[in-house]
Amino acid sequence: MKKVLLLTVMLIFGVGYGFSATDSLASIIKRLDESLANKDRYVSAKQQRIGDIKKQEDKAYSDFARFQLCIRLYDEYKSFKYDSAHVYACKSLELAKRLDKPEFIIEAKCAITFCLLSAGLYREAFEELRSISIAGVSTECLKKYYWMASRLSYDMADYNHTMPYQDEYIKQGSVYTDSLLHLLPARSAEWLYAEGMRQMKEYHYDECVYTFRQLLRNADLDVHTRAVVTSCLGWIYFMQGEREDAKRYLAEAAICDNESATKETTALCGLAGMLYEEGDIERATRYVQFSLDDANYYDARQRKIQIGDILPIIEQDRYNMMKNERNAIIITLIVALLAIVILLFGTWIIRRQMRKLQEARRIIEQRNQEMQLANDKLCEANAIKDEYIGRTFYINAEYINKVEKLYKTIDRKIAARQYEDLRSTLKESTLNAERNSMFADFDETFLKLFPDFVRQFNLLFDEKDRRLPKDEKSLTSEMRIFALIRLGITEIERIANFLDYSVYTIKTYKTRVKNKSIVDNDLFEQRIMEIG
């Protein structure tokens, strides 16, 4: 289980600078801890840089300038905050279409594809990629297209471990890589990078190490490419069983992820997985928590799930380790009863460990409470869904029976030329009765789900302003409006259509009820949503 989780997080590329082969693992880990202590400073610098670009965008005088700035903002956000990267990728596509420049459109669509695959939305990413037309475009556009196509295919192969589909995606990625290599100068940095990636995905690890080492000798290699290559080498060394080299590369990558405020990464989590396997639970826990914070900030569901699966396992082992330490201290205390000094010393240790244990238990209990709250909300949603689906089938069946009877009556009276009887049959009171029946069914179903709704609703008012429905299975008109809100129907138009009122009437009812309430108007609907 540990190795499966570790392989999962190491398949995603982190960012890191190259480092000297003489650097010891201990010194790199020390630098990593120092870097993580200054995390907020690096994030602030990133946000300042983004803010400066946004100011330029606000002052941009043409769509061309705005497009260039949107692409820059996408580049800043793509490894920092997923939703913002996607927003600017989409905005750049709008500008590219307005400018009617195929090269800009391809660049924007490749950016959107990257956002989708980063979020794990592979089907949508393939659809976006297939929408790109590369006929007659420049070599630079073809490079971007083939790079994104190969990246998407290789990522899909990493995601899909089922044979023969995984091999098919690898072959597809290699075909795109071949097309890319034909457009690149042989042995250039870009060529070596693409070739190394293909060798790694095709499991030619020795050739890949040789290619990437050649690439790292290039002094002009940009930081991001060096980071990806370094992370890939760390993963390869791990697969070859060279754990010390793997940890050094991953630690160096994690340092640069932190200092460049990169949030879309799992290098630190991969390192944590290796440290966890080796028993360094304390440091592994800290590193995974940092990784989870980054994943939550980046806000792509796939990353949060990948890292969130690891944290409970490490936390549980940490708890067991601390529990074992406590038991060992207790045994030592019993043995040391003969010496009062040793007894006092042992007591002090026990209290310290107990505090740590309580803190660990508090964290676990807090996580369990959060999980229970989420489960409760899910159960409530399922209960509402099940109740209303069942009720809807029943009401629809009943309605069909009534319509069938009405059709037969109409047919019979038309055949008998009883037109006056037919007109009386279709009187409006029948529709009103049907609507009242629908309201009664709604009230009964809602009160099954929220049996204490009427009492809790009245608690929001002074006693003189409290109202009770005609019977225990019904609601007043005002209560019915807020019952719909409790079910998540907040649009006034939908409420008005359901209750056969005008929008103005619904607004009037809501305002009148809120004004009578002892709760602040802005908080009234929040209190309604808290009714269980």
Each residue's pLDDT tens digit, 318-336: 666 666 667 778 788 888 8
Residue 338 in domain: yes
Give the domain extent around 120: 2-309
The residue from 251, 281, 309 where one domain ends is: 309
Q: Are 73 and 172 within one domain?
A: yes
Evaluate whether 77 touches 300 at the Cβ level (below 8 Å). Answer: no
Residue 112 in domain: yes
Tokens of 249: 């590369």
Tokens of 334: 């019993």
C-alpha–C-alpha distance, residues 156 and 167, integer Å: 10
**Total structural domains in the chain?**
3
For 24-45, the pLDDT digits (tens) are 888 999 998 999 999 999 999 9
For 95-128, the pLDDT digits (tens) are 999 999 999 999 999 999 999 998 889 999 999 9
Q: Are 296 and 438 within one domain?
A: no
C-alpha–C-alpha distance, residues 530 and 532, integer Å: 6
Residue 472's identity, in one-letter code, is E
Q: Are 346 and 205 within one domain?
A: no
Q: Are 17 and 162 within one domain?
A: yes
Q: Are 18 and 122 within one domain?
A: yes
Q: How confident is the model at residue 488 (pLDDT cuts 50, 70, 90)?
A: confident
Residue 406 in domain: no
What burial class does residue 393 get, using C-beta atoms within 10 Å of its C-beta: 0-12 exposed, 13-18 middle, 19+ buried? exposed
Dihedral class, residue 521 (left if φ above 0, else alpha if ψ from -120 to 50, else beta): alpha
Model pLDDT, residue 4: 43
Residue 134 in domain: yes
What burial class does residue 276 get, using C-beta atoms within 10 Å of its C-beta: 0-12 exposed, 13-18 middle, 19+ buried? buried
For 217-253, the pLDDT digits (tens) are 988 877 777 777 888 888 888 899 999 999 988 888 8
Across 125-129, 269-273, 359-363, 367-371, least confident range: 367-371
Q: Are 294 and 438 within one domain?
A: no
| pLDDT exceeds 70 at position 5 | no
CATH of the domain at 189: 1.25.40.10
pTM over 0.85: no
Residue 391 in domain: no
The residue from 346, 361, 379 where one domain ends is: 379
For 51-70, the pLDDT digits (tens) are 999 999 888 889 999 999 99
Q: How confident is the model at residue 7 (pLDDT cuts 50, 70, 90)?
A: very low
Q: Are 301 and 332 within one domain?
A: no
Residue 110 in domain: yes
| SS3 (DSSP) at 65 | helix
Rounded mean pLDDT of 434-456? 86
Alpha carbon of 87 to those of 74, 81, 291, 298, 342: distances in Å?
A: 8, 10, 24, 14, 64
Model pLDDT, residue 16: 35
Name the most confidently modeled range: 86-100, 322-336, 357-371, 389-403: 86-100
Q: Are 258 and 162 within one domain?
A: yes
Q: How confident is the model at residue 442 (pLDDT cuts 50, 70, 90)?
A: confident
The residue from 309, 343, 366 where one domain ends is: 309
| SS3 (DSSP) at 317 | helix
C-alpha–C-alpha distance, residues 238 and 10, integer Å: 9
Q: What is the DSSP letter of 186?
A: T
Q: Are 372 and 453 within one domain?
A: no
Q: Are 84 and 197 within one domain?
A: yes
User: Which carries the bigger pLDDT value, residue 481 or residue 407?
Assistant: 481
Q: Are 483 and 341 within one domain?
A: no
Q: Are 339 and 267 within one domain?
A: no
Between CA 426 and CA 431, with CA 427 as vertex, the angle to 5 degrees is 90
Residue 211 in domain: yes
Q: How confident is the model at residue 86 (pLDDT cuts 50, 70, 90)?
A: very high
Model pLDDT, residue 15: 35
Q: How confident is the model at residue 384 (pLDDT cuts 50, 70, 90)?
A: low
Residue 257 in domain: yes
Model pLDDT, residue 115: 92
For 497-528, the pLDDT digits (tens) are 888 889 899 999 899 999 999 999 889 989 98
